[in-house]
Amino acid sequence: MSTLKRASRNSVWLLASNIVVKLIGTYTAVAVARYLGDVGLGQYSFAVAFVSFFAIFANFGFDALLTRDIAKNKDETQRYVGNISSIKILLSLITMLILFIVSFLIDKPMVIRILLWVFGLDIIINALKGTISSALQGHEIIKYTAISQIFEKAIWALVLIFIIRMDLGITSIAFGTMITTIIGSIYLFLIYKKRLGKIVLLSDKKFWKKLFIQAWPFTLTGIFLLIYWKIDLVMLSFYQTDAVVGWYSAAYRLLELLMMAPVVLMTPLYPVFSRLAKFDKAKLKDTFKLAVRYLLILMIPIVFGVMLLGDKIILYIYGKQFVNSVIALKILIFATLFAFINYPFLMLLNSMGEQKRGTFQTGISAVLNILLNLILIPMFSYIGASITTVIAEASFLTL
């Protein structure tokens, strides 16, 4: 099968799965927001964002490295998967312990601590799931990861409906997400075993050293990306009330759904980029330009639509309790526009082995994000956080 045909087939699978996943995801996100209210959503969103900064160390950038290297040499699959799985288990256990200790050092109510503990348990599950998914992507077996996403989201929707109807509370929602993640991980593990063989944990210390050296730029890039996509929620939580965090999170959640568009297009293209970077750089350049063009054609009308109908969108989806989210949505939509360009550019750099350049650019944007948040959040609350996110995303293009 030709490169273009294979990428097209994978794109169709991802597009179909993401349409279904996003429809279900939109329903569950709205259901959670309406059930918890602005205060509860603020607490839940803080916990998710806070744990994300710990989870990045459990993954340590290995997923992107795994997909890239397997795409170039599929014979190395078992060696990479076995060693990376061992490393992730060790890192996850250390990370979970640190998170548990830190949860007692922050001035937050007990309900948030419980959320942190539950999401902390999810770290090791997601870490191993990411390894399997990345290996399948490296082999361009996108079909099964797509099915897994649909399967997992469908189960999560059913679990959430049960939780809401039984009024089990915010902590039950956290446990529900963990259960569905376990189910999705088991499915992917069975597919991997059938298609690529058993996973055998390996401990090649010399290879571990090589993996850490190659993966640290991916890790730093991931940290920096988290900073200018998640640090605002964390900082808002320490400066403002949980309700304010909920208003901001409601708008932010809608834009996270939009960010799946570049993910859908670029995920099947990443192994293609990696291969073209080695054999045909001229074709790589043309493919990248075409991808960005399609993303902009998609995004620009959405920006105008949100500016005109942002208030109606928020009120229809979340209700009057989240009316304060309207202005955040209208500001943050411009951050999403810039992100539509930044995401494929980062994947291009990674595929070419120039992850250090991507790390530098995202690092500058991340530092700018923190500094601006320190200035603007105390002055303008969640509106300041929204403005900061736009500036940080735009700054990436100027570097």
d(CA 198, CA 214): 25
Exposure on the CB side of residue 143, measured as CA atoms within 13 A: 5
Run means of pLDDT, 10 residues per run, the chain, 399 residues: 58 72 85 94 94 90 84 84 92 94 94 95 90 83 81 92 95 94 90 86 88 84 79 92 94 84 74 76 80 85 92 92 94 90 81 76 86 94 93 81
Nearest to 129 by CA among 78, 69, 190, 171: 190
d(CA 365, CA 361): 6
pLDDT recorded at residue 176:
94
d(CA 192, CA 141): 10
pLDDT recorded at residue 352:
80
* Residue 116 φ/ψ region, left for φ over 0, alpha for ψ in the -120 to 50 degree band, beta for the rest: alpha
The verdict on pTM exceeding 0.85 is: no
Largest CA-CA distance found in the chain, in angstroms, rounded: 58
pLDDT recorded at residue 69:
83
SS (H, E, C) 242-258: HHHHHHHHHHHHHHHHH
Nearest to 132 by CA among 190, 71, 55, 53: 190
pLDDT recorded at residue 384:
95
Asked if 338 and 396 count as a contact pair (C-beta separation under 8 A), the reply is yes
pLDDT recorded at residue 142:
76
pLDDT recorded at residue 370:
93
325-351 helix and 242-258 helix, angle to the nearest 10 degrees? 50
d(CA 226, CA 358): 14
Exposure on the CB side of residue 191, measured as CA atoms within 13 A: 23
Tokens 């997992």, residue? 152
pLDDT recorded at residue 294:
84
pLDDT recorded at residue 376:
95
pLDDT recorded at residue 6:
59
d(CA 359, CA 98): 25
Would you kindly state where each structural domain of the chain is located, as residue ranges? 3-398
pLDDT recorded at residue 399:
63
pLDDT recorded at residue 256:
80
Nearest to 80 by CA among 141, 127, 132, 125: 132
Residues whose CB falls within 8 Å of the CB of residue 60, separated by 6 or more in sequence, listed in order? 87, 88, 91, 212, 215, 216, 218, 219
Asked if 358 and 349 count as a contact pair (C-beta separation under 8 A), the reply is yes
Angle of CA points 56, 61, 65, to nearest 5°: 160
pLDDT recorded at residue 98:
95
